[in-house]
Structure 1
Amino acid sequence: MAIDLANYDTKAKEAVKAFWGNRHEARKKQIESGKADQGERAGVTAGKNMDGFVALVKDIVHANGLEHADIHLERRALTLPGYFRPTKLWDLLVMNKGRLIAALEFKSQVGPSFGNNFNNRTEEAIGTAHDLWTGYREGAFGEQTRPFVGWLMLVEDAPKSRSPVKDQSPHFDVFKEFKNASYVDRYNILCRKLMQEQLYTVASVIASPRDAVDTGVYEELSDMTGLRTFVSELAGHIASEAARQ
């Protein structure tokens, strides 16, 4: 059976438009109330700006044979056991007949503080995956095949995220791929390495400018880390699980 990508490109553009629109509305409401958060925080604290991508994942799960799978989005049902900590809260879990089919994280970064946020996102992504796979090895999810573990990042396409960044390392050289790499490029490198080290089934990054609120335009940085790879691998995993039933 051919996999179904659920018209992902059109839905992704709608998700991008919703992302920027939700941020704008959140900022507007907080300013009108006189309780606006500083800087970009007003848009972040408004809620689930990545919900359009969550909806896309749901469509892919249903379109590829797991129509009756449990797709958990409520906070109370999103925790998984960890190995280095008791539990970890995920953004979306797909369960089917007591088996963990997929665990996904949806992240975003909007300027101006790209530097600190990139480092925090990197440490979080690595730690989360390492904790999950160590728990899996130790039987945290029972006896089952490996789940799909996905990480999707939307980063603002802006001069500060596209400009070369210099690093200081007084004792040893940084790896050459990071030299003068912009933050958009660094996210692309991060996603590639997360997959090469088998920390995530797929890690993807897309870049989108603020004015995409009207168009939904976004850019993939490479085939390996692109959104099409993300949805294709997820659809294939879901179809495989459905065939196993």
Structure 2
Amino acid sequence: MKDLFDTEGGADLPSLDNLGPEVESAIQFFWETLQGQAEEQRVSANTTRGRRAQVLGGGQMDGFAGLIEDLLVAEGVPRESVKHDYQATLPGFFRHEKEWDTAVVHEEELLASIEYKSIASSFGNNLNNRSEEAIGSNTDLLEAYEEGVFSPSPQPFVGYLLLMADSEDSNAPVGLREPNFNADEEFQGASYARRAELLCLRMVRKRLVSGAAFLMSGEEEGLAAGAFTEPNEELRFERFVRELTSHVSAHL
């Protein structure tokens, strides 16, 4: 993988102290890609999201993958230690392997694995699928670590980032099907957005992940300016990346 930034060209790595514009850029690229408008950004050398997407391939969440990579590099992680997609394939315990979105593998030690997911439509089906994927994949990775699959690696940072469209459908209360037993009280009358927030929060508190971020963005505002909101203080992007970079840096 070549550098996301040409330092000889004067581009700077992002700072943990000024993440707002960086996240806005990743959000904007998400919406551009979703609407098929990202080709111009991929070939551009004049935008942050264009430079990152040109390297990573232009997937919807690649703006976040590139930003995470740059933040890790800014904290001293060698760029070649930050791997994506096929190069981020890791063995499991209950299954043979999984291709993670990002993995930090430094000197033959697994330091972090991260998934970036989004839901912009069909909220019910997509959220169910995302929940099953996250719970299963994270359980598999942690079990593999406990069984020494990654030895002599320290316990890796397991990260999960979820971006959901901020819309009337995602924010409306949703009914429950309870033919046999009552669902958890916190799901009663909860919207898809609240359900997604609970997924991320409970994975953190049950230690299925080391850290999680949950962001929401409306299509019109996100496409125009990368606008986003963070409904839960515990799931803020800044907290997520500070925990990630601190963990990885401590094990370099």
Q: Give the superposition deviation at 1:12.
A: 0.5
Matched, 1:145 2:154: yes
**For 1:124-172, what per-residue CA distance to the aligned partner results, in whole angstroms no more than 9, with x for missing partners?**
1000010001111111101221111101011000000000001021221
Q: Which residue in 1 is equivalent to 2:232?
A: 222
List aligned pairs for 1:62-77, cutoff 5 A: 62-67=73-78, 70-75=81-86, 77=87
Q: Give the superposition deviation at 1:59.
A: 1.4
State the AA in 2 paired with 1:80: L
Ranges in structure 2 where 5+ consecutive residues have no aligned partner:
1-14, 40-56
- 1:233 is aligned, of 223, 243, 249, to 243
More contact order relative to length (CA 8 Å, sep ≥ 6) = 1
Identity %: 35
Cα gap change, 1:143 to 1:27, in 2 (>3 Å): closer
List aligned pairs for 1:125-164, cutoff 5 A: 125-164=134-173
Q: Give the superposition deviation at 1:21.
A: 0.9
Q: Give the superposition deviation at 1:74.
A: 4.7
Aligned with 2:36: secondary structure?
helix
State the AA in 2 paired with 1:53: F
Ranges in structure 1 where 5+ consecutive residues have no aligned partner:
29-45
Given that residues 38 and 58 in structure 2 are in contact (C-alpha distance below 8 angstroms), is that contact kept between their aligned partners in structure 1?
Answer: no
Q: Which residue in 1 is equivalent to 2:98?
A: 88
Q: Give me the whole-angstrom Cα distance separating, in 1, the residues matched to 2:74 and 2:17.
A: 7
List aligned pairs for 1:32-71, cutoff 5 A: 48-67=59-78, 70-71=81-82
Q: Give the superposition deviation at 1:47.
A: 5.4
Aligned with 2:117: secondary structure?
strand
Aligned length: 220
**For 1:101-126, what per-residue CA distance to the aligned partner results, in whole angstroms no more than 9, with x for missing partners?**
11110100111x11111111101100
Q: Which residue in 2 is equivalent to 1:185?
A: 194
Q: Which residue in 1 is equivalent to 2:183?
A: 174
- 1:196 is aligned, of 194, 205, 226, to 205
Q: Give me the whole-angstrom Cα distance separating, in 2, the residues matched to 1:226 and 1:74.
A: 24
